[in-house]
């Protein structure tokens, strides 16, 4: 029998890719059976097939390429999914935790390296900078549990970038001390390049993203554009002396608000990264690890133990001390420790830099023991980080889930999207995706109604293609869509019948494009639909892609708080603003805006909401002066005979056409027979907000009654 070792390591590209795909497929399955995070399985798989294991694969240029892409991908996703508003509101905490998670492991590792291991001060500084930084290796676990916007995760991501930046500054100082460039001029130039990079990125990247996403809607083109910006930022970051991971994270932060969490583009980015690049990176990290060095001798084992213990101990002190300072639950401290304790290929890169720095002829700053210690440290910290993060994520999900009320049977959300061929299918479906409640998992309803005439067969086939397009958009973000194409002699009646058949809660549809003064603003069938349906109707006309909107301006009429559907449309707009990351400005009377403010502040604290006094509806047309091309106007109107209806609404079509004909526009007819706030799905704090809001309404009514009584007495 031939010796199989002659055929190893595998060199055929097809076979290499086959083995990697098998590892990516098998590792999560095996680790799932053992109840171990699959990230650990990927790293261990790399150890097994690498040259220090069975020598099945060699860590060739493909692992270098895909591994670096995977590392950038992790940092990019961390920036892309970060809660920006949470980062702003917790800025002080992020800074404190960032400094602590850098200083504690840095100081402890430096003292241990100097006084226990016996390294020189420069070598100790290099090792300390490695242990003070960290890689968000366990971030895919966070994504699996949907905790990307959790407070502890926001603290970890922000602090990781602070620690990494400080570690790179220390590395730059060490490298500078070996050359002639050290000194005041070196640091001045270094800081100038960093400031120029950040300012240039903040100024250029958002404008470039907004311009591109407005003009190109093709899915592949948008994905390639995002990847190009990612690697452009990473490349420039590397050129100025920072690691490319800093640039990748920075690009994610910049593009955060242009790629909504529920968008198809975001789904594609996450899918490709989690399916290919990130596993490739993890396997490549495992292939670097040589477990045999643990048995080379007591000194080597002792060095490895010191590096792992003191570096991890410093991270643990920083995490749990910060958890106590911020008065967070213990599970949050576990999360903070788990996410910030891992080190990966970035540590190898820093060590490789040290290996090139000669302290004397034939002697280098980094010896073999330090190199082996760092490589083994990567394995242990990846395992510790993955296990602790997975456990903390599960605990947070369970404990916070217990504090939330279960979805009530009374929650009737079921959104119907009326689509027509040639209409803005992408915009309407994406709008519905951003407004729907992901936790209910009820999906959407797509409807296309065509006239039952001699062209009905052709029109229905075209309509079915429109529904197929809508289904693809929804399925891209894992939302199911029921579709129906139906014939009707009256479009309004066809939509109404379908609405009732599906027991829908609201309808989203396109707004008729009025071509001239004589053309009807609402079109032919919309007025009849508004009259026949007393549920919420949202009419939308968007000239720009939704993800490029920077502000939503809402015109709120007086007495709208007395409508049954008051909280339904606030909830939908709040979800839209939250997903888009844009500001919402409500214009209305204090009685209405105070209730809106209280509801959003308690139920959607991440929404950037502002409130402007608009005493009379005659001020409505003044809003046109402040609307830009990337703003959207939302008009809350009312049906005749309802409590918030005003005679001035008769002129609304004319005002909208004259002053807002070229603006992004949404018109909402509130629900007249919808669910009350007590029937909606609220957490305990959210229910308190609703109860408080109702209390404010009652107090306001009582004040009005007292005023009337005083007037009558006089």
pLDDT digits 0-9 by tens, 447-478 = 999 888 888 888 888 889 999 989 988 888 88
pLDDT digits 0-9 by tens, 408-453 = 444 678 999 999 887 788 899 999 999 988 877 788 999 999 888 8
Model pLDDT, residue 404: 44
| Other C-beta atoms lying within 10 Å of the C-beta of residue 126 | 27
Cross-strand pairs, 552: 584, 632
DSSP string for 317-380: HHHHHHHHHTT--HHHHHHHHHHHS---HHHHHHHHHHHT-EEETTEESS-HHHHHHHHHHHHH
Model pLDDT, residue 645: 87
Q: What is the rounded distance in angstroms from the CA atom of residue 661 to the CA atom of residue 554?
A: 16
Model pLDDT, residue 407: 42
- Average pLDDT score over residue span 108-128: 88
59 neighbors 284 (Cβ within 8 angstroms)? yes
Exposure string over 632-656, b if 16+ CB within 10 A, otherwise e? bbbbbbbbeebebbeeebeebeebb
Model pLDDT, residue 701: 57
Would you call 358 helix, strand, or coil by DSSP? strand
Model pLDDT, residue 405: 43
Q: What is the rounded distance in angstroms from the CA atom of residue 445 to the CA atom of residue 436?
A: 11
Checking if the pLDDT of 248 tops 90, the result is: no
Please name the residue that has the structure tokens 């003044």. 622
Checking if the pLDDT of 239 tops 70, the result is: yes
Q: Which run of H or of E encompasses 308?
A: helix 298-325
Six-digit token string for 97: 């935790």
Percent of the chain clearing pLDDT 90 (strictly above): 21
pLDDT digits 0-9 by tens, 45-88 = 888 888 888 888 888 888 888 888 888 888 888 888 777 777 77
Six-digit token string for 706: 């007292």
427 neighbors 542 (Cβ within 8 angstroms)? yes
The pTM of this model reads: 0.74
For 208-217, 297-306, 390-399, 596-605, which range has the lowest pLDDT when averaged over its residues?
297-306
Model pLDDT, residue 684: 47
138 neighbors 342 (Cβ within 8 angstroms)? yes
Checking if the pLDDT of 572 tops 70, the result is: yes
Model pLDDT, residue 274: 86
Phi-psi label, residue 681: left if phi above 0, alpha if psi -120 to 50, beta otherwise: beta
Higher pLDDT, 219 or 699: 219
Checking if the pLDDT of 704 tops 50, the result is: yes
Model pLDDT, residue 677: 46
Q: Which residues, 6+ apart, have CB-to-CB distance to 423 below 8 Å?
A: 466, 510
- Average pLDDT score over residue span 618-625: 89
Domains and CATH numbers, the chain: 61-400 (1.20.1530.20), 408-541 (3.40.50.620), 545-667+679-714 (3.40.50)
Higher pLDDT, 139 or 409: 139
Please name the residue that has the structure tokens 């949202």. 538
pLDDT digits 0-9 by tens, 255-304 = 988 888 778 888 888 888 888 888 888 888 888 777 777 777 787 788 88
Model pLDDT, residue 260: 82
Q: What is the rounded distance in angstroms from the CA atom of residue 285 to the CA atom of residue 379?
A: 8
pLDDT digits 0-9 by tens, 23-33 = 999 888 888 78
Q: Which residues, 6+ apart, have CB-to-CB distance to 365 below 8 Å?
A: 120, 122, 123, 126, 174, 354, 355, 357, 358, 359
The half-sphere exposure of 98 on its side-chain side, counting CA atoms within 13 A, is: 20
Please name the residue that has the structure tokens 């009652």. 698
């Amino acid at each position: 029998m031939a010796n199989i070792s002659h055929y190893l390591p595998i060199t055929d590209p097809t076979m290499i890719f086959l083995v990697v795909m098998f590892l990516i497929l098998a590792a999560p399955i095996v680790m799932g059976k053992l109840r171990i995070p699959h990230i650990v399985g990927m790293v261990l798989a790399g150890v097994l097939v690498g040259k220090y294991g069975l020598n099945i694969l060699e860590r060739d240029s493909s692992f270098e390429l895909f591994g670096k892409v995977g590392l950038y991908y992790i940092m990019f996703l961390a920036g892309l999914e970060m809660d920006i508003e949470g980062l702003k509101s917790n800025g002080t905490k992020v800074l404190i935790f960032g400094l602590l998670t850098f200083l504690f492991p840095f100081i402890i590792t430096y003292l241990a390296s100097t006084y226990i291991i016996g390294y020189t001060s420069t070598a100790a500084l290099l090792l300390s900078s490695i242990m003070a930084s960290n890689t968000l290796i366990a971030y895919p676990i966070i994504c699996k549990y949907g905790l990307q916007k959790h407070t502890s995760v926001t603290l970890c991501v922000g602090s990781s970038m602070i620690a990494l930046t400080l570690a790179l500054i220390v590395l730059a100082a060490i490298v500078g001390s070996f050359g002639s460039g050290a000194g005041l001029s070196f640091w001045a130039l270094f800081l100038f390049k960093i400031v120029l990079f950040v300012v240039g990125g903040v100024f250029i990247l958002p404008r470039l993203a907004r311009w591109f996403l407005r003009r190109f809607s093709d899915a592949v083109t948008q994905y390639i554009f995002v990847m190009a910006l990612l690697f452009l930022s990473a490349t420039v970051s590397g050129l100025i002396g920072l690691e490319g991971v800093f640039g990748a994270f920075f690009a994610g932060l910049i593009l955060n608000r242009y790629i909504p969490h529920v968008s198809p583009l975001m789904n594609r980015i996450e899918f490709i990264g989690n399916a290919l690049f990130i596993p490739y990176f993890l396997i490549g990290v495992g292939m670097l690890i040589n477990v045999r060095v643990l048995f080379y001798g007591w000194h080597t084992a002792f060095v490895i133990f010191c590096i792992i213990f003191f570096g991890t101990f410093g991270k643990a002190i920083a995490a749990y001390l910060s958890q106590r300072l911020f008065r967070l639950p213990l599970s949050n401290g576990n999360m903070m420790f788990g996410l910030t304790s891992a080190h990966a290929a970035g540590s190898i890169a820093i060590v490789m830099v040290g290996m090139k720095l000669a302290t004397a002829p034939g002697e280098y700053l980094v010896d073999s023991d330090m190199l082996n210690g760092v490589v083994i440290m990567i394995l242990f910290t990846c395992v510790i980080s993955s296990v602790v993060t997975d456990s903390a994520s599960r605990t947070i999900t369970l404990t916070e889930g217990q504090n939330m009320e279960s979805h009530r049977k009374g929650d009737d959300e079921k959104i119907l999207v009326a689509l027509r061929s040639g209409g803005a299918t992408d915009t309407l479906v994406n709008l519905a995706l951003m407004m729907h409640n992901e936790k209910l998992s009820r999906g959407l309803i797509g409807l296309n109604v065509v006239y039952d005439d001699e062209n009905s067969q052709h029109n229905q086939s075209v309509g079915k293609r429109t529904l197929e397009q809508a289904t693809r958009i929804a399925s891209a973000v894992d939302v199911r869509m029921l579709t129906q194409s139906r014939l009707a002699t009256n479009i309004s009646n066809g939509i109404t019948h379908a609405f009732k058949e599906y027991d829908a809660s609201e309808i989203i549809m396109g707004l008729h494009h009025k071509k001239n003064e004589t053309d009807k603003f609402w079109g032919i069938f919309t007025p009849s639909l508004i009259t026949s349906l007393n549920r919420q109707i949202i009419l939308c006309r968007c000239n720009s892609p939704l993800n490029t909107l920077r502000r939503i301006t809402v015109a709120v009429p007086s007495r709208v708080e007395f409508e049954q559907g008051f909280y339904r449309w606030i909830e939908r707009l709040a979800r839209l603003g939250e997903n888009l990351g844009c500001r919402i400005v409500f214009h209305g009377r204090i009685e209405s805006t105070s209730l809106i403010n209280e509801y959003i502040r308690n139920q959607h604290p991440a929404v950037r909401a502002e409130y402007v006094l608009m005493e009379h509806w005659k001020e409505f047309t003044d809003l046109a002066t402040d609307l830009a091309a990337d703003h959207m106007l939302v008009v809350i109107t009312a049906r005749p005979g309802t409590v918030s209806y005003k005679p001035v609404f008769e002129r609304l079509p004319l005002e909208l056409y004259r002053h807002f004909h070229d603006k992004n526009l949404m018109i909402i007819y509130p629900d007249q027979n919808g669910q009350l706030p007590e029937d909606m799905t609220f957490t305990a704090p959210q229910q308190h907000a609703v109860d408080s809001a109702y209390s404010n309404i009652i107090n306001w009514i009582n004040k009005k009654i007292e005023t009337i009584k005083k007037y009558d007495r006089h």
